[in-house]
A and B are shown apart, each in its own frame.
Chain A
Amino acid sequence: MVHHFDLAHGSTRDLNHALHAFNGTDSEAAWQVKNANGLHNLAVGLDAPLTVDIEGHVGYYCAGMNKFARVTVHGNAGPGVAENMMSGVVRITGNASQYAGATAHGGLLIIERSASSRCGISMKGVDIVVRGDVGHMSAFMAQSGRLVVCGDAGDALGDSLYEARLYVRGNVAGLGADCVEKVMKDKHKYELDSLLREAGVSGADAAEFRRFGSARKLYNFNVDNADAY
Chain B
Amino acid sequence: MCGIVGLFAKTPEFESQLGHYLAPMLLEMTDRGPDSAGVAVYRNPVGDGQVKLTLLSTAPWFAWQDFEHALRNAFPGVTGLWLMGNHAILTAHAASGDLASWIRANYPAVRVNSSGSTIEIYKQKGLPAEVAHNFGVSQFVGTHALAHTRMATESAVTTEHSHPFSTGEDLCLVHNGSLSNHNRLRTQLAKRGIHFTTDNDSEVAAGFLTWRLMEGDSLEAALDRAIVELDGFYTFAIGTRDGFAVLRDPIACKPAVIAETEQWVAMASEYRALAVLPGADQADCWEPAPGRIYSWSH
Contact = CB atoms under 8 A, between A and B. Distances in A.
Interface string B219-230: 000000000000
Interface of B: 252-253, 255, 257, 270-275, 281, 285-287, 289-290
25 contacts: A37-B271, A37-B272, A38-B270, A38-B274, A56-B275, A57-B271, A57-B281, A59-B270, A59-B271, A59-B272, A60-B270, A75-B281, A76-B285, A78-B255, A78-B271, A79-B255, A94-B285, A95-B286, A97-B255, A97-B257, A97-B287, A98-B253, A98-B255, A116-B287, A117-B252
Nearest to B273: A38
A135 interface: yes
Interface of A: 37-39, 56-57, 59-60, 75-76, 78-79, 94-95, 97-98, 116-117, 135-136
Contacts of B281: 56-57, 75
Contacts of B252: 98, 116-117, 135-136
A55 to B, nearest CB: 9
A50 to B, nearest CB: 24
Nearest to B281: A56
B287 A95 contact: yes
A16 B42 CA distance: 42
Given A95-B286, A95-B287, A76 B255 contact: no
Nearest to A116: B287
Contacts of A75: 281
A20 to B, nearest CB: 23
A38 B286 CA distance: 13
A37 B281 CA distance: 8
A130 to B, nearest CB: 14
A75 B285 CA distance: 10
Contacts of B287: 95, 97-98, 116
A60 to B, nearest CB: 8
A205 to B, nearest CB: 28
A128 B289 CA distance: 21
Contacts of B275: 37-38, 56-57
A206 B257 CA distance: 33
Contacts of A95: 285-287
A176 B255 CA distance: 23
